[in-house]
Amino acid sequence: MGRMTLKSFLEARITLQDWLFLFETAIRSSILSTETKEPSLLYMLSYIAAAGNQTTPGSINRLVGATGSAQDSRINGGTQLLATALAEKLGAQNIYLDSPVGKVKLNGGRYTVMSNRLQVSAKHVVVAMSPPLAGQISYDPLLPAGRDQLTQRMLMGSIGKGDRNLSQALVPEARAERTAAE
């Protein structure tokens, strides 16, 4: 399963082209934001399983569904509020932008995290980046072999996504144009 791509699995089982198109569009636009030829079947299965919880097994419906599923709730005001509120709590003076970490070194039970602009000493470090980016940091001592292989082999998808923010004023106009055209 780790060697088979999601695409080859789907193509071997779904013969109706319309269904294939529908499934690929769902994966591309709302579930993984990637082409089905990129993830393995095993990754997709683990992703579906991760949509479960202690009482309900994971399913595709829970990934795309609304009530009780992934699209159940949104943050009033936008997801960015999470980062904004966290930044306020931490204090602007403790946040360094445009300062990519180049090296993490463990010495005497403490980590030194180094960028071009500063060095920070810490008891614990959380590297919260995608595996390929995390793999660009130099670690001393080296990462365990298994983790190093993960950062080398878990590539990111190659799709971008954009949202168009329609103002309130535009929406009724667009509806009116559509009605006129109909």
Ligand X SMILES: Cc1cc2nc3c(=O)[nH]c(=O)nc-3n(C[C@H](O)[C@H](O)[C@H](O)COP(=O)(O)OP(=O)(O)OC[C@H]3O[C@@H](n4cnc5c(N)ncnc54)[C@H](O)[C@@H]3O)c2cc1C
Give SS3 for 122.
strand
Spell out the residues 6+ positions from residue 166 whose beta carbon is closer than 8 angstroms to its own.
174
Residue 87 is a binding residue for ligand X (CB under 6 A): no
Scanning 45-53, 84-92, 128-136, 138-146 for contacts with ligand X by CB under 6 A, the matching segment is 128-136
- Residues 123, 125, 130: CA angle, nearest 5 degrees: 175
* Tokens linked to 43: 């990754």
DSSP secondary-structure letter at 92? G
Give the length of the chain.
182
Q: Rule CB under 6 A: which of 133-152 touch ligand X? A: 133, 137
Residue with smaller CB distance to ligand X, 53 or 130:
130
Residue with smaller CB distance to ligand X, 8 or 34:
34
Residue 27 is a binding residue for ligand X (CB under 6 A): no
Residue 100 is a binding residue for ligand X (CB under 6 A): yes
User: Smallest gap, in angstroms, from Cβ of residue 98 to ligand X?
Assistant: 9
Residue 130 is a binding residue for ligand X (CB under 6 A): yes
How far is 52 from 57, CA to CA, in rounded Å?
Answer: 4
For tokens 């993490």, the residue is 104
Residue 160 is a binding residue for ligand X (CB under 6 A): yes
Number of residues that bind ligand X (CB under 6 A): 11
Residue 33 is a binding residue for ligand X (CB under 6 A): yes
Identify any residues that bridge with 104 across adjacent strands, giving them in sequence order.
113, 139
Spell out the residues 6+ positions from residue 48 whose beta carbon is closer than 8 angstroms to its own.
58, 59, 60, 63
Among 3, 89, 124, 161, contact with ligand X (rule: CB under 6 A): 161
Residue with smaller CB distance to ligand X, 106 or 133:
133
41-49 vs 6-13: helix crossing angle, rounded to 10: 90
Distance, C-alpha 46 to centroid of its chain: 14
Among 50, 87, 159, 170, contact with ligand X (rule: CB under 6 A): 159
User: Smallest gap, in angstroms, from Cβ of residue 96 to ligand X?
Assistant: 9
Which residues would be at the binding site for ligand X (CB under 6 A)? Answer: 33, 100-101, 128-130, 133, 137, 159-161
